[in-house]
Structure 1
Amino acid sequence: MCETMVHDFDIVIIGGGILGTSISYFLSQLNKSKKIAVVEQAHSVAFHTSGRNTGKVHAPYLYNPEKKKLFAKAAFHGYEMWEEYSKLRDLPFKKDGVIEVALDKKGTAVLEKYLKWGKQNGLEDKDIKLMDNVELKKIEPEIKCESALYVYKDGSVDYSVFTNSVMKDSKANGTNFILDTKVTKIKKENNKWAITLNGEHEICTKFLINAAGGEAINIAHDVGVAKKFTDVHFRGEYWRAPKEYHDLTKTSVYSVPEFPDYPFLDPHWIIRIDGSCEIGPNAVPVFSPYGYNKSENIKEFIPKILEMLGSGARKAIFDKQFQELAINEIQSSMSKTTMVNRVKRFLPKIDPDKITEKGTAGIRSSVIDDDGKFVSDVILVDDETSFHILNYNSPGATGALPFAVHIINHLNKTGLFESETVDAQCGPWNFSQILEKLGE
């Protein structure tokens, strides 16, 4: 029972990804006397999506300043904060930029829109430039395109390394990290949350923060909120390029997404922080947030299909365009050549036969509403003694630090949770000054 438990906390965060760990970091600085715990089912933080992405610190040019204002601000200030944190902890941060290419006039119009958005979101002329193929050829002779948006303010990091460092700082402030531990049951008991771990041990908390990524919808449903939403999972796969291609371009190359309303992105040419190059990710539909292999997907196939058929997701899975896109992604998983050829359109020198080694796959979970539409923005759900962060996707890693500050400020303002101070020095940043930059 909760009243007799030794493992009694003021705040428990479910999910040790980059966002859950960042929230713990700032909460531990603002609440020195409170007991805080992070529960993560993997053996290390950032083991899943947070550590299995492209490793980019994104400039906010892809985000509509009206519809995704908060994400755009988080990305803009996240770049500055991660760069500052890298200097504080002597972590690799490579300012290498990114090039977004258009292969036709329709794509060029999209790049013109991205340029406008980027400047509205705070980028300056020196940070971003639209150029034609002749101008780009002088810089990147191997790229074939109609036009390109060169975003100079873009960087590369290893988010696993960054998250582990933030975890160490949070632990130094007194946060308990309970790793290799799965939440198997949550129930309300005597005005506290009783959380069963690994089916046997129990901890209790006055306040619960759900930052569980691919499991976030399930956790929310377990405590009786966000019932109108369901999630679908997509495995992003990568192929490693051989060393002979490592100098093919100076920077990573993305192409304009053909269907921006769906979570399907054409694979990119990625240069990682260590200089290695990869093609990816695609977006293969899977049936679990941990559906990296066939056995996990077979195990979860029937439960997930039944869940989807009983929710708004059934409208999405019976949508003809969605079905065609999903089949294309499955083909890109079954055929290396199909996937590599998507990048070959703008990097014709690549030979699929020379690419033989797979990279690390990651899984992205997207939320569908009861109308069968993919939700484009993050969903924040307030409950009496819990808070739920759903659909936190790209640029999630870039914006994790300032977004964590936004969440804590939101909890304070709504009275869901009150911090002891909001004027604390949190590492190299003052909490109140971060809020000012975010316009809060």
Structure 2
Amino acid sequence: MGSGRWYLVGAGTAYDGDVLVVGGGIVGLSTAYAITRAAPGTCVTVLEKEAAPARHQTGRNSGVIHSGIYYRPGSLKARYAVRGAAEMVKFCAEYDIPHEVTGKLIVATGRDELPRLHALVQRGRENGIPVQELSGAQIAEYEPEVRGLAAIHVRTTGICDYGAVARQLAEASGAEIRYGAEVVQVDRRAGLGVAVRTARGDVVRARVLVNCAGLHCDRIARLTGDEPEVRIVPFRGEYYELARTELVRGLVYPVPDPAFPFLGVHLTRGIDGGVHVGPNAVPALAREGYGWGVVRPGEVARTLAWPGAWRMGRQHWRYGLGELRRSVSKRAFVAAVRRMLPAVQEEDLVRAGAGVRAQAVLRDGGLVDDFLIREGERAVHVLNAPSPAATASLPIGREVARRALAVLESA
């Protein structure tokens, strides 16, 4: 997957701009926003294949502003989530975007979860996050219908409308945003910049390319001629809406399994007042496979051609079977919810939309557990930025912008 014999950049090339960002999700738009603030006058163009921003991971999540409690101290996720949560609240307040700092509960429902809950308390404190430990009886002070053996309250967690954040970033960046611009070919020649061709036949030339393509980031990296050494394996997260919204006041999470990057089925009162229940995590049969009926055989074949996909499956097949069961059986999904919310009934859950997580998988089957940003010649690639990337989008954008401007300066 390279540019082959297609040459659109050469000596004397007239550039359309300085930096070309591929991807109009929240990370790509945060990057454009950061570049124009750090280096006023820099000409930035954003190519987004959809008709509007935030159509995929950014606009298809539960809208949580994560505190950073889950992430390994010192990791990019921990540092950027803690910093990003405070910055996201400030950004929303500045631009009158709906948001609220609600706090959340992480609830242990089994004795085997208590050591992991205590480990989260320690991790939260190492990450500088205010954490309050609760007994089982104290849970009712925050959530009268929730039951558990113990819990922790994390007060810096919040909610917002990330679609509105993305739209504001697009406007405030001053960048040129081109919608309906799917990148199908890239030409990068040594010392001569980068040109891309879109599905409509347009050609855009720039000095530096920034790849924030989310579900397609590994493909874009390979189009530039860089080998990302990971592949995106898409996982669909399916949601229900809670009909009896009075059962939940705020945000309620189970204790996650540290072996996986998924947080488990949780309860989230969104900024619109509705309560989201989910998500699970099942393999998607397309990178944008928001339902079992969306199947793209070529994408499935390319996923299965990556050795890491098979090795990941062998390592985690028991966990995967449980997730699949909750996907096909509403009763099994309800049973998972009842561990924390025993009052919920099957008829209380109404099927809602789904999202797809762009999970980077290594050749050995390992799941990349931190944000991953790599550089190539005249290119910067964001290769793993699933949750909490929306929370951390402002710090991520500054880091990607810093790298892109350094490449631009040296070009």
TM over 0.5: yes
Shift of residue 281, structure 1, vs aligned partner: 0.7
- Please state whether the residue corresponding to 2:286 is helix, strand or coil: coil
**After the TM superposition, which residues 319-330 of structure 1 pair with which residues of structure 2 at under 5 Å, given as runs?**
319=314, 321-330=315-324
Q: Which runs of structure 2 are paired with 1:26-41 in the superposition (5 Å)?
A: 26-41=34-49
The answer to whether the 8 A contact 2:9-2:192 is kept is no
AA matched with 1:169: A
Q: Distance in 2 between matches of 1:310 and 1:134?
A: 49
Amino acid at match of 2:198: L
Specify whether residues 332 and 5 from structure 1 end up closer, same or farther in structure 2 by C-alpha distance, changes over 3 A only. Answer: farther
Q: Are 2:409 and 1:418 equivalent residues in the alignment?
A: yes
Question: What is the letter of the counterpart of residue 225 of structure 1?
Answer: D
Structure 1 pair 211–113 and aligned structure 2 pair: CA distance change class (3 A): same
Q: How does 1:232-243 map to 2 (within 5 A)?
A: 232-242=233-243
Q: Indicate yes or no: 2:378 matched with 1:385.
A: yes
1:83 correspondence with 2:89:
yes
2:345 counterpart (351, 367, 387): 351
Q: CA deviation at 1:151?
A: 0.7
**Residues 380 and 400, structure 2, Cα contact 8 Å, conserved in 1:** no
Paired residues for 1:312-323 under 5 Å: 312-317=308-313, 319=314, 321-323=315-317
Check conservation: 1:279, 1:340, Cα contact below 8 A.
no
Identity within the alignment, %: 27
Deviation, 1:32, is 2.6
Q: What is the CA-CA distance between 1:7 and the residue it aligns to?
A: 6.5
1:280 matched to which residue of 2? 278
- RMSD value over aligned CA atoms? 2.0
Superimposed CA distance per residue, residues 4-50 of structure 1 (whole angstroms, 9 cap, x where no aligned partner)? 87771210000111111001011112333222101111111111101
Q: 1:120, 1:265 → 2: CA distance?
A: 20
Counterpart in the other structure of 1:251: 250
Counterpart in the other structure of 2:332:
338
Match of 2:304 among 302, 308, 314: 308
Helix, strand or coil at the partner of 1:64 = coil
Deviation at 1:384, TM superposition (A): 1.6
Equivalent AA in structure 1 for residue 20 of structure 2: V
* Deviation of 1:360 (Å): 1.9
**Under a length normalisation based on structure 1, what TM-score does the superposition of the two structures give?**
0.86
> For residues 183-202 of structure 1, what are the structure 2 equivalents within 5 Å?
183-189=183-189, 191-202=192-203
In the superposition, relative to structure 1, how do residues 122 and 354 fare at CA in structure 2: closer, same or farther (>3 Å)?
closer
Counterparts of 1:85-234 in structure 2, within 5 Å, are 85-123=91-129, 127-171=130-174, 175-189=175-189, 191-234=192-235
Deviates more, 1:343-352 or 1:265-274: 265-274
Match of 2:354 in 1: 361
Q: TM-score, normalised by structure 2?
A: 0.92
Query: Does residue 348 of structure 2 align to residue 376 of structure 1?
Result: no
Q: Are 2:27 and 2:393, in contact at CA under 8 Å, matched by a contact in 1?
A: yes
Give the direction of change, closer, same or farther, for the CA distance of 1:87–1:228 in structure 2 (3 Å limit). Answer: closer
Match of residue 408 from structure 1: 401
Q: Deviations over 1:348-399 (max 9, x none)?
A: 00001232x3222110011111211111112211112001011112211111
Q: Which runs of 5+ in 1 are unaligned?
A: 420-440
**Whole-angstrom distance in 1 between the partners of 2:94 and 2:409:** 29
Deviation, 1:73, is 1.8
Q: 1:72-102: per-residue Cα shift (whole Å, max 9, x none)?
A: 1211121221121122111111111111111
Residues 154-205 of structure 1, C-alpha deviations (whole Å, 9 max, x = no match): 111010011111111113xxx1101122101112247121200115111111
Separation in 2, partners of 1:354, 1:131: 28
1:207–1:7 distance in 2 versus 1, CA, 3 Å: closer
Q: 1:11 to 1:295 in 2, by over 3 A?
A: same
Partner of 1:84, secondary structure, is helix
CA–CA distance in structure 2, aligned partners of residues 374 and 198 of structure 1: 31
User: What is the CA deviation profile of residues 202-250 of structure 1, one whole-angstrom value per residue up to 9, with x for unaligned ones?
Assistant: 11111000011110011112222234311210111111111xx222132
Structure 2 gaps, min length 5 = 1-7
